[in-house]
């Protein structure tokens, strides 16, 4: 039980130390998806073939 | 490269050893392992240390003894990180070379690189050639420095076709780490690397320069909602870089036939979005106090004028 208590204290101390260090930045994910829809591809290629004629 | 860019990069890199020492002290407190700290630290080590701190924090919050032991093992293996390939500072590794954390903090999964797995020869000749082509393309158009300035670990998830949707992301706490799929064309692969590198570069710069961009929320045409000024500055910087890149690709005549069709359409779309966001981007940049960072971003944005006319988009 004592070991468990010691480990719990260690975990809590670590979390507090990380918070105090300033290393824990505000969280965010900058997700990005890039797509050109199939319809746009068809449109672009139609334009290109017209230009080529 | 712009001297203001060089000065900002120098300032961010100067603080890396001190930040790594702090991460090392914290990790040592939990795991009793010493973080490997060569001088100067490699970009991959810098990125990996942030990943380990994240994993350690998740393990501590869950009171997960096995998780802490895993972090300790990864710290011991850090000296096994391989050197990056010639011309780049980052290690490009598959998702299978990482353990993945499903932290409650993020919408996206968080990778933690296992160093020995990064040393395996996993890149086939075809992918190796695609990566080299993407890197060469970035170098040819003068934009590889954006990637090299900030990226330490690039994790690729799945292959995606040129005509499909490509997904990539960065996490603010994980400086130097990018997650991206692998578009089936060097132009789109380079675009993803540059886009995400701009985010991780700006995250580090904003933190090191002590910027807070305090101001009212602004409208983002990309997200179609109001966002904090920092988010607008990120979108402005990343998409401005992408627009410059696509413009220079078209100008140089590089890329396959399909990639050039893609580049033209995407450039047109992004120029429209940047125009819609123009006042919001300027407002966000005006909140940046550091003259190098504010001047660099503003001038880079202003230099897009004329791009539309040049390509009759």
Q: Does residue B200 contact residue B178 with C-beta atoms inside 8 Å? A: yes
* Eight-state DSSP code of residue B94: E
- Check residue B86 and give its pLDDT: 86
Evaluated on CA atoms B280, B285, B289, B295, the torsion sign reads: negative
Q: Does residue B256 contact residue B270 with C-beta atoms inside 8 Å? A: no
Cis peptide before B40 (omega within 30 of 0): yes
Rounded to 5 degrees, φ, ψ at B11 are -70, -40
Close Cβ partners of B25 (under 8 Å, ≥ 6 residues apart)? none
Cα(B80)–Cα(B106) distance, integer angstroms: 29
- Check residue B241 and give its pLDDT: 97
Evaluated on CA atoms B295, B187, B227, B53, the torsion sign reads: negative
Using 50 as the pLDDT threshold, list the residues of chain B that sit under it: none
**Whether the predicted pLDDT of A51 surpasses 70:** no
- Check residue A38 and give its pLDDT: 58
Q: Does A8 touch chain B (CB under 8 A)?
A: yes
- Check residue A25 and give its pLDDT: 64
- Check residue B110 and give its pLDDT: 84
Cβ-in-10-Å burial (0-12, 13-18, 19+) of A49 comes to exposed
Which residue of B24, B60, B272 is the best one to mutate when testing the A interface, meaning the one whose CB has the most A CBs within 10 A? B60
Cα(B306)–Cα(B298) distance, integer angstroms: 15
- β-partners of residue B180 are B156, B168
CB contact under 8 A, B29 and A17: yes
Please tell me the distance in Å from A26's CA to the nearest CA on chain B: 8
Nearest CB to B265: which of A30, A38, A44? A44
- Check residue B194 and give its pLDDT: 96
* Eight-state DSSP code of residue B95: G
CB contact under 8 A, B63 and A24: no
* Eight-state DSSP code of residue B119: T
Nearest CB to B191: which of A8, A34, A38? A34
Tokens of A46: 């139609």
Please tell me the distance in Å from B120's CA to the nearest CA on chain A: 28
Per-residue burial over B73-100, b if 16 or more Cβ lie within 10 Å, else e, is: ebbebbeebeebeeebbbbbbbeebbbe
A5 or B247, which is more confident: B247
Global pTM reads 0.91
Cα(B141)–Cα(B253) distance, integer angstroms: 11
pLDDT tens digits, B75-111: 999 999 988 888 899 998 889 889 888 766 666 788 8
Tokens of A50: 């017209």
In the structure, what pLDDT confidence band is assigned to residue A15 with cuts at 50, 70 and 90? very high
Please tell me the distance in Å from A13's CA to the nearest CA on chain B: 9
Nearest CB to A36: which of B231, B238, B266? B266
Summary count for chain A: helices (H), strands (E) = 2, 1
């Amino acid at each position: 039980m004592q070991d468990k208590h010691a480990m719990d204290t260690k975990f809590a101390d670590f979390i507090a130390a990380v918070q105090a260090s300033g290393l824990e930045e505000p969280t965010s994910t900058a997700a990005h998806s890039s797509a050109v829809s199939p319809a746009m591809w068809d449109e672009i290629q139609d334009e290109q073939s017209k230009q080529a004629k | 490269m712009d001297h203001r860019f060089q000065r900002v990069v120098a300032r961010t890199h100067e603080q890396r050893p001190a930040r790594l020492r702090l991460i090392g002290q914290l990790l040592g407190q939990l795991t009793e392992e010493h973080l490997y700290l060569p001088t100067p630290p490699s970009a991959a080590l810098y990125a990996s240390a942030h990943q380990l701190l994240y994993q350690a924090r998740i393990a501590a919050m869950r009171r997960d003894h096995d998780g802490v032991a895993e972090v300790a093992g990864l710290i011991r293996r850090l000296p096994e990180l391989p050197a990056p390939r010639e011309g780049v500072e980052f290690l490009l590794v598959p998702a299978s070379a990482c353990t993945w954390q499903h932290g409650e903090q993020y919408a996206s999964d968080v990778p933690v690189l296992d160093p020995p797995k990064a040393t395996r020869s996993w890149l086939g000749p075809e992918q190796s050639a695609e990566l080299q082509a993407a890197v060469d393309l970035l170098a040819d158009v003068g934009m590889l420095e954006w990637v090299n300035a900030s990226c330490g670990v690039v994790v690729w998830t799945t292959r995606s076709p040129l005509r499909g949707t490509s997904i990539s992301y960065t996490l603010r706490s994980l400086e130097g780490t990018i997650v991206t799929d692998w578009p089936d064309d060097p132009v789109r692969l380079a675009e993803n690397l540059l886009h995400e590198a701009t985010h991780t570069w700006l995250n580090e710069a904003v933190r090191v320069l002590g910027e807070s961009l305090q101001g009212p929320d602004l409208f983002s045409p990309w997200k179609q909602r109001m966002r904090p000024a920092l988010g607008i500055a990120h979108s402005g910087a990343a998409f401005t870089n992408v627009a410059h890149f696509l413009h220079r690709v078209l100008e140089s005549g590089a890329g396959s036939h399909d990639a050039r069709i893609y580049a033209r359409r995407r450039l047109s779309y992004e120029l429209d979005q940047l125009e819609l966001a123009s006042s919001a981007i300027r407002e966000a940049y005006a909140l940046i106090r550091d003259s190098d960072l504010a001047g660099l971003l503003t001038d880079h944005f202003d230099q897009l004028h004329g791009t539309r006319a040049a390509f009759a988009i």
